[in-house]
């Protein structure tokens, strides 16, 4: 079902607001993303609270540190019982292998390639002279060789990743903006329908839903577009 591909980002500041959104949307969606804003404010207790509703959780912490530290953080996330966790593939093969080695069989470990807010100018600022697409492929290849389960990219790279790696990996995309929503700080974005048709396994959608005056209404518009 298309609904199973949608993950709503709980981009809010408190557990109370997060659980309110989960309650409002759970009739249609069962997968929610907890990122740095909410996790930093509320810690692992918010993860437990969302999981206790029967929902699934993508813990989007984009871990990037020395291998041992990342491995221990992956172990902690596995213990929490989340279904997905992110690390930065730019941490290198040793870090990625440490993470995959510490990951439980029940958790999908995703490697972040190039952030959806980044452009080629951003890459130049940190010394990378290649194109965004080539950098995404380079990092994805590094991750696959080190045992990663899937990658996070912008929707613009889905077809390239599928052409290169086929069904070997799961592809989760952010930078999703319905046709009626403002792009905000996203530079490489697509509509939900475009991303699904391009071959995404999961699409993360945040502010178009969570910042809407009536989140359930925004979600219903997206589901109608997808159907």
Tell me the catalytic residues: 62
**Rg value, the chain, Cα:** 17
Of the candidates 171, 206, 153, 152, the residue with the CA atom closest to the CA atom of residue 29: 206
How many angstroms separate the CA atoms of 227 and 219, rounded? 12
Of the candidates 114, 184, 123, 205, the residue with the CA atom closest to the CA atom of residue 156: 114
Give yes or no for a contact between 167 and 188, defined as CB atoms under 8 angstroms apart.
no
- 171 phi, psi to nearest 5 deg: -120, 120
How many angstroms separate the CA atoms of 10 and 205, rounded? 9
Q: Kind and range of the H or E element at 57?
A: strand 56-63
How many angstroms separate the CA atoms of 33 and 30, rounded? 10
Dihedral angle of Cα 17, 18, 19, 20, to the nearest 10 degrees: 50
3-state secondary structure of 205: strand
């Amino acid at each position: 079902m298309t609904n199973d591909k949608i993950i709503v980002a709980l981009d809010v500041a408190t557990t109370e607001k997060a659980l309110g959104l989960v309650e409002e949307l759970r009739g249609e969606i069962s997968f929610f993303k907890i990122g740095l804003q909410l996790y930093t404010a509320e810690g692992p207790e918010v993860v437990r609270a969302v999981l206790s509703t029967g929902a699934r959780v993508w813990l989007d912490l984009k871990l990037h540190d020395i291998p041992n530290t990342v491995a221990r953080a992956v172990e902690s996330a596995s213990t929490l019982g989340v279904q997905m966790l992110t690390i930065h593939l730019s941490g290198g093969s040793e870090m990625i292998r440490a993470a995959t080695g510490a990951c439980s069989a029940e958790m999908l470990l995703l490697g972040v390639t190039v952030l959806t807010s980044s452009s080629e100018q951003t890459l130049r600022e940190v010394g990378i002279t290649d194109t965004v697409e080539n950098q995404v492929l380079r990092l994805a290849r590094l991750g696959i060789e080190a045992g990663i389960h899937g990658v996070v990219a912008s929707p613009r790279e889905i077809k390239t990743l599928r052409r290169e790696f086929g069904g070997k990996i799961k592809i989760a995309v952010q930078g999703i903006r319905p046709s009626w929503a403002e792009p905000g700080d996203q530079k490489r974005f697509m509509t939900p329908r475009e991303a699904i048709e391009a071959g995404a396994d999961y699409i993360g959608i945040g502010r178009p839903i969570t910042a809407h005056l009536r989140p359930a209404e925004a979600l219903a518009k997206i589901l109608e577009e997808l159907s």
